[in-house]
Amino acid sequence: MDLLPVKTLRRLLVPLLITAAVPAAAQQQSQGYKFLEAVRKADGDTVVKMLDQPGQRIVNSRDITTGEGALHIVVKRGDSTYLRFLLQRGADPNMRDGRGDTPLLLAVQYGQNAIVDVLTANKANPNLGNGGGETPLIRAVQKRDLPMVRSLLAAGANPDQTDNIAGMSARDYAHADARSPAIAKLIDEKPKRAVRAVAGPKF
């Protein structure tokens, strides 16, 4: 019996190996999609069932078009119960979506004060900026939300970290807006801090 040359064997086997690997990756992607859809629909039974599967790591799945994860979805609808559950199951509180927004940034944007407290209590970094370098504190100052500013400062937000667009910090924005003297005063109670480099978004 003639043996096939090594080169011929390689040509035959490599496509088979690639074909075998693709379904596994596609299946994982499909599972992640189904998981995020269940989160969007607040289908608790399906979410729990999927997370309870042995070796499952879909809790940090991302939407392939928006980059958002389960935490982004529940923060947008103000669902603190679901948020706590997902955090307990290992969801990353510092995951960035396609624009670089973290769940904490979205919580500030949507005025979800209680959710801000839940996230910061679960190690959400208050100094992670989005693609434009806008931090949760900068966004809270721009929204003139005094309670939110107070919460973020208490969680360690740096009022002197600048964005990438105007090169301004939360302190700068507070002083530039004459409509928010209370916020400027609150921030000025914090001594000026050196700005440490924070790693940019990873997509």
For 5-26, write each residue's pLDDT tens digit.
555 545 555 444 444 444 444 4
Query: Model-level pTM?
Result: 0.80
Q: Residues 121, 113, 77, CA angle at the centre, nearest 5°?
A: 100
Q: What is the identity of the amino acid at 184?
A: A
Res. 54 pLDDT band, cuts 50 70 90? confident
The predicted pLDDT at position 201 comes to 53
> Does the domain spanning 24-115 belong to CATH 3.40.30.10?
no
For 104-124, write each residue's pLDDT tens digit.
999 999 999 999 999 999 999
Burial class (CB in 10 A: 0-12, 13-18, 19+), 113: middle
The predicted pLDDT at position 171 comes to 97
DSSP codes of every residue in 37-72: HHHHTT-HHHHHHHHTSTT--GGG---TTT---HHH
Could you identify the residue written with the tokens 């409509």?
A: 179
Q: Can you read off the two tokens belonging to residue 38? A: 């269940």
Identical fold at 24-115 and 126-192? yes
> Does the domain spanning 126-192 belong to CATH 1.10.3210.10?
no
Q: Can you read off the two tokens belonging to residue 118? A: 């839940």
